[in-house]
Amino acid sequence: MPYLFTSESVSEGHPDKVADQISDALLDHFLAFDPESKVACETLVTTGQVVLAGEVKSDTYLDVQNIAREVINKIGYTKGEYQFSGDSCGVISLIHEQSQDINQGVDRGAKEEQGAGDQGMMFGYATSETENYMPLALDISHKILHTLAELRREGKEISYLRPDAKAQVTLEYSDANEPQRIDTIVVSTQHDAFDEDDDKMLAKIKSDIISILIPRVKAQLPAETQKLFDDQIKYHINPTGKFVIGGPHGDTGLTGRKIIVDTYGGKGAHGGGAFSGKDPSKVDRSAAYAARHAAKNLVAAGVADEILVQVSYAIGVVEPTSIYVDTYGTSKVGLSDGEIARKVAELFDMRPFAIEDRLKLRNPIYLETAAYGHMGKQPKTITKVFESPYNGRIEKEVELFTWEKLDKVAEIKSAFNL
């Protein structure tokens, strides 16, 4: 019997995402000037205020207030009427030094013996239903909001947009777990106050979203996915009415509150640990990236059409406590999931330092992950510039989204005789 599945995304201006981006901007600056920094930065944003907290062990010193303001302004909170602006908000820093009790289990004489920064389980997931091996409903949700932000910055076709927004996509699947059509699209976007009455305002926003935004999103998708858009889609555009008050003024934001948006939109599984603000010694982040890298390469190699990889750790212990694989009955290699898991353990070194080294995670690469998902983006090399009144100016060439590279496919095919 056909069924429905839904995923959501939130924009870079959503208060929780503002917090995530500030935390990751701080992390990037610490790593740029001291790659061995140990960082766990949390951010709270609310009306006119930013609070920074967390633990750091680093040889560098940063102007954290200025970094936070730059992120806020870049997102688009630059006007007084938003009740939250990078130039006028207060920024309070409560960041302090990392506990020695934690650090003693992580730092070791030989880097290869580095222990996990915490206990827990992390998941990676991949599916063949999209070109980037991501769940389709989440992929479309991300594209809706990324495109909405482009329209906001252009300010031409839709001139009234403000930074805060959310999107949600519901797909109809067949009994064979294949997407058949888009059933529902929900978009809630913050906007300027209108002179006309609320009904006219809402009608214009709905018309612009359907006639301007959706065609732009559709054009980014492969022909097969474009066919899922039909004239029977149910649209809910700003369903609660006007949405003038938003961002941190409308809702307090905290680092790490959008972990499903950050990963697979409810597909697969999640171990519960957030990513942003954490350096790669925290396996909450690094092992989740490593598990995604493994799952994506396994699906790309043809081991299965859908794969979930779980890895778990004990704090201060080098080797993972377990590696688990679920192929959801889609395996193509004539092996049990347990047998596949044993091969995965041989193909992918999941020790914390090995992950850091393989995926080049001790680089300032994290601000780019903090909105529109940590998974599914295109790997690329860019040059980033960091300036500090205490450390001067530094340019670094870095490779983004290394965990999305399909660099293990040939090795996997050989191991599985594909």
Residues of each annotated binding site for K(+): 42
Question: Which amino acid would we find at residue 408?
Answer: K
**In this structure, are strands 306-313 and 179-191 parallel, antiparallel, or unpaired?**
unpaired
If residue 152 lies in a helix (H) or strand (E), which one and from where to where? helix 136-154
Query: Which residues, other chains included, contact 72 with Cβ-Cβ below 8 Å and sequence gap of 6+?
Result: 18, 22, 50, 84, 85, 86, 89
Helical H segments across 185-323, by residue range:
198-208, 214-219, 223-226, 247-250, 259-262, 283-301
Summarize the annotated binding site for L-methionine as residue ranges.
55, 98, 251, 282
If residue 410 lies in a helix (H) or strand (E), which one and from where to where? helix 409-415
Summarize the annotated binding site for ATP as residue ranges.
14, 164-166, 242-243, 251, 257-258, 274, 278
In the numeric block, which tokens belong to residue 324? 């688990």
DSSP letters spanning 350-372? -SHHHHHHHHTTTSS--GGGSSS
State the residue for tokens 């503002």: 18
With H, G, I as helix, E, B as strand and everything else as coil, classify residue 20.
helix
How far CA 173 is from CA of 67, 129, 197, 210, 261, in Å, comes to: 44, 11, 40, 23, 21
With H, G, I as helix, E, B as strand and everything else as coil, classify residue 118.
coil
DSSP letters spanning 23-76? HHHHHHHHHHH-TT-EEEEEEEEETTEEEEEEEEE-S----HHHHHHHHHHHHT
CA distance 297 to 359: 14
Torsion sign over Cα 20, 26, 28, 30: negative
Give the closest residue to 124 by CA, choosing from 115, 112, 133, 136. 133
Give the closest residue to 188 by CA, choosing from 215, 214, 206. 206
Length of the chain equals 418
Distance of CA 347 to the CA centre of its chain: 25
Summarize the annotated binding site as residue ranges.
14, 16, 42, 55, 98, 164-166, 242-243, 251, 257-258, 274, 278, 282
Summarize the annotated binding site for Mg(2+) as residue ranges.
16
